[in-house]
Amino acid sequence: NAGVMQNPRHLVRRRGQEARLRCSPMKGHSHVYWYRQLPEEGLKFMVYLQKENIIDESGMPKERFSAEFPKEGPSILRIQQVVRGDSAAYFCASSPPSLGSYEQYFGPGTRLTVT
């Protein structure tokens, strides 16, 4: 059973470009979380999705950021018109669909560098 997969592992974008980060949850997991980690800081919750639904996006910046988890395929975190402040590690985590399952399984992260 493969773990949570994220790609790319490293992504370099120039200011103004778009960044697309992908996350494939563990097999059988239908809940996906995205977190952002700035250098030398803890992880900050961004968004929680179930298949085809955004459940909680309270941690997501209102502009330029969007997330989706389609019926088929990976979850995508999309950052439009990136700025230097978007440079960070972005982690995806998944959990099983059962209620009360609060343990999360993390992917290796995508390190975004904006030049």
Partner 1 sequence: SQQGEEDPQALSIQEGENATMNCSYKTSINNLQWYRQNSGRGLVHLILIRSNEREKHSGRLRVTLDTSKKSSSLLITASRAADTASYFCATYAGGTSYGKLTFGQGTILTVHP
From 15, 12, 13, 36, select the one nearest 83 (Cα to Cα).
Answer: 15
74 part of the interface to partner 1, by CB under 8 A: no
CB of 21 to partner 1, least distance (A): 13
43 part of the interface to partner 1, by CB under 8 A: yes
Find the binder of partner 1 among 23, 24, 34, 109 (CB under 8 A). Answer: 109
Q: Could you give the CA distance from residue 27 to residue 96 in angstroms, rounded to a whole number?
A: 9
102 part of the interface to partner 1, by CB under 8 A: yes
30 part of the interface to partner 1, by CB under 8 A: no
From 113, 109, 75, 97, select the one nearest 28 (Cα to Cα).
Answer: 97
